[in-house]
Structure formats: C-alpha cells, structure tokens
Amino acid sequence: MNFDKELDARGLNCPLPILRCKKSLNDMTTGQVLKIVATDPGSVKDFQAFSKQTGNELLSSETVNSEFVFFMKRK
C-alpha cells in the first residue's frame, strides 16, 4: 500500500504509539496515509478505537513477523 509518512513505534507501549500517531497525523494533510509499525499487542485494539474516536480511517491492520502494521488515512 502506498503511504506518505511512516511512524516507527516499535518498542513503545500504550499510550505512546497512539500519541505519536496523533502527532504525526496532525502534521499531515487530509487524505494522506500514515504507515505505523508497532510491537505492542494492545495497539491493535488501540488503533481501532482511535480510528472510531477521531474519524481517521484505519485502512488496514496486519501482523508481519510479530510486528503490527497499520495504515491510517488522515480525515
């Protein structure tokens, strides 16, 4: 998937991946896509909830080699 910016949240635990994601999205324009790579298993539910609360679209969520990869579109 194409993306405009990447956020490396590996090694960070809740709530840091979400906080860093929010900061990154604020620096982006509407429609741009942020790729997030995290290692915290709780981040799967966290990013789903964050998407619903903020209106930023969670395009995909997958696990690759025990890392969680998310693609989020800026509202």
Report, as residue numbers or ranges, the catalytic residues: 14
Q: 13-19: list long-range contacts, CB under 8 Å, 24+ apart.
A: 13/40, 13/42, 14/40, 14/42, 14/43, 14/46, 15/46, 17/43, 17/46, 17/47, 18/43, 18/46, 18/47, 18/50
